[in-house]
């Protein structure tokens, strides 16, 4: 079968499954998600064996160490996948929820009901755990999904999809509600992105080049974030002891994450005291600094002068841009120019400044006196997430169950007619 016809078949089956899934009981969807956890535990040897094939091939092909690490399903990763399924199964079901209802003067009741999006396609790189995360979130929110992972994870994703489909069948739900296309051909993505009559939304997860390519080709809405250029602004009224620890965590706890700190802005009134302390904690952890002229002499031998294109960069590494600013206004202007609408934070003890920062900064999460690493669905209490959206339609920030639904109006009448 030609790639185009194969992807059309996948999408058409997903569309039919989505209709059945949307009308299925919440109990059946919850059972399917819970059974995925049970089957992952029971089939862990099969998952590990399939993943070993992918890892061996990727290592032979020279896949870089960071991607190789993300590709590997260790016992810890598998345990996390199982726990994630259990946590999603324990979440409240959003489908069919009436968010609000009001009475019109004619006596008719009008409300908004939560409904699934329909068919979600996810295009992502070498992260087998994302296959399970996306599948169970889509199932619990009543959506069918098409999961096109990177070719490096082909065997891993096939094994995981088989487990998920077994859980679907056991719950009496259509197995086509979760599909992993059985091809490594890159043309499959191009063809899927043309099928807007079957696919309601596409979510790309990976590097900026992947996300831009999907956004340019897709004929359906795309929920995306191109990059995470995350800032912390340390105000003159900040607690500097606390600031050092927050900066350290934001940069070094997981430097390749999209919510890791990439640029530190420091008010000039506290720069002389704070920046040597920051260097003293971060430099031993391997952090190198790209420094503005004023901050360069305060950061020691791990610093070098920043070039103009160092502002607004997503390093995804132990590199931190540092700039001293004369005021909060200057910090806000810098973030507006170089930020990516992902995660921004202010460290201050001045409540009025904190609230101004929260109001004026345009980002999917704005924090006060906390690490940027908290922009994560689990950390924010959503239970899990399918990704972080930096576009405002229709979701902004981590996308959990509620963000994988939309709303429709419902009206309850007693014979009313319009005059």
Residue 78 has a pLDDT of: 96
Residue 27 has a pLDDT of: 97
Please state the rounded mean pLDDT for residues 125-146: 95
How is the chain split into domains, by residue range?
3-223+399-411, 230-374
DSSP-assigned beta bridge partners for residue 47: none
Residue 126 has a pLDDT of: 82
Task: Please name the residues in contact with 380: beta carbons below 8 A apart, sequence gap of 6 or more.
Answer: 365, 374, 397, 398
Residue 383 has a pLDDT of: 80
| CATH number of the structural domain 3-223+399-411 | 3.40.605.10
Residue 153 has a pLDDT of: 97
CA 198 to chain centre: 23
Cis bond before residue 365 (omega within 30° of 0): no
Q: What is the pLDDT of residues 375-395, one digit of tens each?
A: 999 899 888 889 999 988 889
Strands 109-116 and 98-103: antiparallel
The structural architecture, per CATH, of the domain 230-374 is 3-Layer(aba) Sandwich (3.40)
DSSP-assigned beta bridge partners for residue 103: 109
Among residues 294, 280, 361, 288, the alpha carbon closest in space to that of 321 is found at 288
User: Average pLDDT, whole number, for the chain?
Assistant: 96
Question: How does residue 52 score in pLDDT terms, banded at 50, 70 and 90?
Answer: very high
Question: Token pair for residue 206?
Answer: 């990976």
Q: What is the pLDDT of residues 233-276, one digit of tens each?
A: 999 999 999 999 999 999 999 998 999 999 999 999 999 999 99
CA distance 18 to 295: 55
Does the pLDDT value for residue 396 go beyond 80? yes
Residue 208 has a pLDDT of: 87
CA–CA–CA angle 6, 211, 77 (5° rounding): 80
126 vs 32, higher pLDDT? 32
Q: Is 11:119 a contact under the CB 8 Å cutoff?
A: yes
Q: What is the pLDDT of residues 13-46, one digit of tens each?
A: 999 999 999 999 999 999 999 999 999 999 999 9
Residue 64 has a pLDDT of: 87
Question: How does residue 412 score in pLDDT terms, banded at 50, 70 and 90?
Answer: very high
49 vs 393, higher pLDDT? 49
Predicted model pTM: 0.91
CA distance 315 to 388: 18
The SS3 of residue 400 is coil
Given this chain, do its domains 3-223+399-411 and 230-374 carry the same CATH topology? no
């Amino acid at each position: 079968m030609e790639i185009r016809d194969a992807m059309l078949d996948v999408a058409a089956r997903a569309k039919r499954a989505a209709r059945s899934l949307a009308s299925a009981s919440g109990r059946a969807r919850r059972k399917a998600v819970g059974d995925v956890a049970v089957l992952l535990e029971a089939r862990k040897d099969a998952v590990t064996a399939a993943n070993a094939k992918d890892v061996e091939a990727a290592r032979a092909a020279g896949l870089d160490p960071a991607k190789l690490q993300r590709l590997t399903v260790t016992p810890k990763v598998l345990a996390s996948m199982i726990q994630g399924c259990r946590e999603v199964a324990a979440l409240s079901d959003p489908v069919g929820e009436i968010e609000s209802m009001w009475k019109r003067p004619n006596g008719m009741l009008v409300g908004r009901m939560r409904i699934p999006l329909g068919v979600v396609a996810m295009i992502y790189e070498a992260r087998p755990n994302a296959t399970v995360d996306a599948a169970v979130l889509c199932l619990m929110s009543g959506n069918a999904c098409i999961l096109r992972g990177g070719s490096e994870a082909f065997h891993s994703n096939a094994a995981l999809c088989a487990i998920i489909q077994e859980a679907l069948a056991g719950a009496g739900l259509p197995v086509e509600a979760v599909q992993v296309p059985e091809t490594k051909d890159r043309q499959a993505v191009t063809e899927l992105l043309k099928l807007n009559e079957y696919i309601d939304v596409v979510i790309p997860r990976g590097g900026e080049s992947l996300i831009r390519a999907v956004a340019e080709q897709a004929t359906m809405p795309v929920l995306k974030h191109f990059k995470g250029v995350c800032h912390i602004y340390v105000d003159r009224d900040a607690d500097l002891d606390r600031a050092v620890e927050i900066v350290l965590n934001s940069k070094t706890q997981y430097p390749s994450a999209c919510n890791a700190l990439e640029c530190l802005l420091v008010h000039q009134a506290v720069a002389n005291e704070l920046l040597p302390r920051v260097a003293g904690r971060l430099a031993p952890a391997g952090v190198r600094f790209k420094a503005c002229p004023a901050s360069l002499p305060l950061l020691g031998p791990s610093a070098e002068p920043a070039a103009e294109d160092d502002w607004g960069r997503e390093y995804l590494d132990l590199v931190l841009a540092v700039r001293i600013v004369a005021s909060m206004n200057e910090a806000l202007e810098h973030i507006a120019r170089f930020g990516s609408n992902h995660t921004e934070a202010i460290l201050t003890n001045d409540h009025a400044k904190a609230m101004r920062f929260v109001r004026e900064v345009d980002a999917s999460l704005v924090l006060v006196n906390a690490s940027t690493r908290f922009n994560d669905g689990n950390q924010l209490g959503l239970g899990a997430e399918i990704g972080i959206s930096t576009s405002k339609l229709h979701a902004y920030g981590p996308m959990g169950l509620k963000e994988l639904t939309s709303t429709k109006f419902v009206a309850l009448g007693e014979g009313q007619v319009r005059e």
